[in-house]
Structures are given as C-alpha cells and as structure tokens.
Amino acid sequence: MTTHERPLDSVLETIGRTPLVRVHDGPDEVRIYAKLESFNPGASVKDRIGRYMLERMLEREEISPGGTVIEPTAGNTGIGLAIAAQQLGLEAIFVVPERFSVEKQQLMDALGAEIINTPTDAGMGGAIDRAHELAAELDDAVVPQQFSNPLNTEAHYETTAPEIYDALDGEVGAVVAGCGTAGTLMGLARYALEVHDDTHVGAVEPHGSLYGELLGDDREEGEYKIEGIGTHDTDTNELFDPGLVDAVYSVSDREAHDELRRLAREEGHLVASSAAAASVAAKRVARSIADGKLETPHETVVTVFPDSSERYLSKEIYRSFEAWSS
Ligand code: PMP
C-alpha cells in the first residue's frame, strides 16, 4: 500500500500512496490515523495536486508543452507544481506572499521555478491578483489557481481518499483536515459522504481565521502563526462547501505548538503546525465520539499531516512558544 516495490521511471510516480499511521494520544476506544504527506517527493500533500492539475490541464489542452504555469502559493503548492511542471515540460512562476518560509522558496528555485514575492499585507488576495496580471502579459500561460480549481478537490477525491478507505477497509467514522484552499478536506468529504452520508466532516482552522463564519459560527479575525491553513477573506476560498462540513474546529497557536512538540517527542512525527492543528482537532472529535456526544458510522477518525517541520526550522518551530510566535 505505501511502498513502491518496482523500479519507477520518474519521480512523478512516487507521488501518493503515503503511509497512514496511528496517533496514540486519543481515547482508547477511538482510533485516530494520520496520512503522512511528507512522504511525497516534494515532501508535502501538494505534490498530489501539482501532478493532477497539470496532467489534466495538458489533456484538456488548456496549456501546451513549453507553456508557463503561474500560481499564487504559500510554498508547498509551488514545490508540487514545480516538480510536475519540470517533468511535464512546462515553465513555472510562483507568486508568494513574503511571510512564508524561505525554505520553500529555496526549494522552488532549486527545482527551476521563478519566484515573485508580494507584500505580506496584501495577503493571498494580493498574490492571486499579481498571478493573473502576469498571465495576461505572457503567451500560453495558465494560472491553475488552487483556490478555485475543482481539480484541486478532485485530486484528493481520486487519490488521497481512496488510499485512506482502502487502508481502513472503509471503516472511517470522521474525516478531519486543515483548510487552506480546502481542497484536501473537500476531496475527502465528498468521497466519505458517498460511502456513508453520516460520516463526520470536520474542518480545522487557526484561531483568528474566518472559515467558521461560513457555518454561522462567531469568529474574531486575528493574526496566527500556524502556517498553510485558515483564511481572512472567505471570498477567495471558493472550494469550501459549507454544505459538506459538520463543524469547523478552531485551534490556537499555543495548542498547535504544544502538539507539534508532543508529536515529535512522543510519536516521532516531525510535522509542522498545520499537522499539529489537525491532530488537536482530530483528538477533540475522537473525545466527542468516546463521550457519546458524536455518533459516527465507525469509531475511527482520519486526518492528514500535510508536511514536515524541517521546512520551518528557520522559524524556530521547536523552540519555546514565545520564540516561535514572536
Ligand atoms: N498545511 C500546509 C502546510 C499547507 O501548505 C496547506 C496548503 N495551503 C494546507 C495545510 C491546507 O491544504 P488545502 O489547501 O488542501 O486546504
């Protein structure tokens, strides 16, 4: 399931089939599993959509070999798209808000992509606008636009979800995942609800993010350190379908930081803040099931650990909460 036993022709073929591993800090009677997406060649969940979106766009002739892919991205999507673009004969340009990790930008550069930074203050909206401006200036350029492209969701519906269901023989009671674009959660949710329409679907966001408002929850907008998930402007998160989501779990920077250190120290998972936030929320869901407050078709909660902590060492991720969050 998680191994590639035959020799492979290209690094693209190593994408997916990542391990699903138990998280041992929940209630005894409810099993929690995490899909370890750092096992992908670009070390994040975004390798899946990089390959999937570009292959489908080439098939549909939305771009041709030699053309240019331009994407606004926090980094991991850039790495996934850079690997796929390179292997599929495309050029890549990424528009990255300044606050994101320098490690990711160095890796995109190493993979042959061009990087353009936009001001932190302009947020992801500013990066999206700049990507479209650039695309209009070039011939044969596309903006896959992970925030609105249904292929993002489809990549997870077609790959991540069936891998999870195969590994657990279909015994999934809840799916819980952090939402950046929400592609991961939406792909899992669609698949899960087809299998069992009472599967619990939980979105995860940092304190200060506004996804909860889409389900009618009160939220106070604020800054957060957790990287890769959350939104300040729900208009840009076109993939998130509130009709598929039962609850939006809000996790503080402090909870995520405590959990990322615990996951490393106790369980050997070198994962970053969005994975830790997902773990905190998955444990909340597991506790609700164990306490009889939440009924699910199976006593199993599945979450996704999107990437690894190594990518954030320059941000003092394993030092004190104060050092990380200052
Ligand atoms: N964690 C990290 C580290 C990410 O880079 C992303 C993507 N922005 C996510 C979680 C969220 O994934 P999605 O975009 O599929 O919601």
What are the pLDDT digits (tens) for 244-257?
999 999 999 999 99
Q: Say which residue the tokens 């002739």 belong to.
A: 61
**Which residue has the CA at smallest separation from atom 5 of ligand 1?**
228
Report the percent of the chain where pLDDT is more than 70.
Answer: 99
Predicted confidence band of residue 236 (pLDDT cuts 50, 70, 90): confident
- How far apart are alpha carbons 91 and 128 in whole angstroms? 18
Q: According to the model, what pLDDT value does residue 276 have?
A: 98
> What is the value of ipTM here, to two decimals?
0.99
153 pocket-lining for ligand 1 (C-beta < 6 Å): no
**Per the structure block, which two tokens stand in for 33?**
């599993």
Asked if residue 3 has pLDDT above 70, the reply is: no
Hey, where are the domains in the chain? 11-39+155-325, 64-139
101 pocket-lining for ligand 1 (C-beta < 6 Å): no
Predicted confidence band of residue 125 (pLDDT cuts 50, 70, 90): confident
- Ligand 1 center from residue 110 Cα (angstroms): 21
- How far apart are alpha carbons 51 and 163 in whole angstroms? 17
- How far apart are alpha carbons 226 and 75 in whole angstroms? 14
Q: What is the DSSP letter of 194?
A: H
Per CATH, 11-39+155-325 and 64-139 having the same topology is answered yes
- How far apart are alpha carbons 64 and 45 in whole angstroms? 25
What average pLDDT does range 17-38 have in this prediction? 97
Asked if residue 100 has pLDDT above 80, the reply is: no
309 pocket-lining for ligand 1 (C-beta < 6 Å): no
- Ligand 1 center from residue 292 Cα (angstroms): 31
Q: According to the model, what pLDDT value does residue 140 have?
A: 93
Predicted confidence band of residue 1 (pLDDT cuts 50, 70, 90): very low
- Ligand 1 center from residue 237 Cα (angstroms): 12
The dihedral over CA atoms of 150, 152, 153, 155, expressed in degrees to the nearest 10, equals: 120
Q: Give every strand in the sheet of 20-23, ordered side by side.
A: 20-23, 31-36, 300-305, 174-178, 200-206, 247-251
For the chain, counts of helices (H) and of strands (E):
10, 10
- How far apart are alpha carbons 172 and 308 in whole angstroms? 25
**Which alpha helices (H) appear in 16-160, and where do they start and end?**
46-59, 76-88, 102-110, 123-137, 150-155
Q: Tell me which residues are annotated as active site.
A: 46, 274
- Ligand 1 center from residue 134 Cα (angstroms): 24
Q: Are strands 300-305 and 31-36 parallel, antiparallel or unpaired?
A: parallel
186-227 confidence digits (pLDDT tens): 999 999 999 999 999 999 999 999 999 999 999 999 999 999
Highest mean pLDDT among 97-106, 145-154, 229-238: 145-154
Ligand 1 atom, smallest distance to 306 CA: 1
Domain 64-139 has CATH 3.40.50.1100: yes
74 pocket-lining for ligand 1 (C-beta < 6 Å): yes
Lowest mean pLDDT among 65-79, 209-223, 291-305: 65-79
Options 3.40.50.300, 3.50.50.60, 3.40.50.1100, 3.40.50.280; CATH of 11-39+155-325: 3.40.50.1100
Q: Say which residue the tokens 């993002």 belong to.
A: 152
- How far apart are alpha carbons 277 and 233 in whole angstroms? 20
- How far apart are alpha carbons 267 and 325 in whole angstroms? 23
Q: According to the model, what pLDDT value does residue 265 have?
A: 98
Q: According to the model, what pLDDT value does residue 104 have?
A: 83
User: What's the whole-number average pLDDT of the chain?
Assistant: 95
188 pocket-lining for ligand 1 (C-beta < 6 Å): no
- How far apart are alpha carbons 270 and 310 in whole angstroms? 7
What average pLDDT does range 60-85 have in this prediction? 94
Report the percent of the chain where pLDDT is more than 90.
Answer: 87
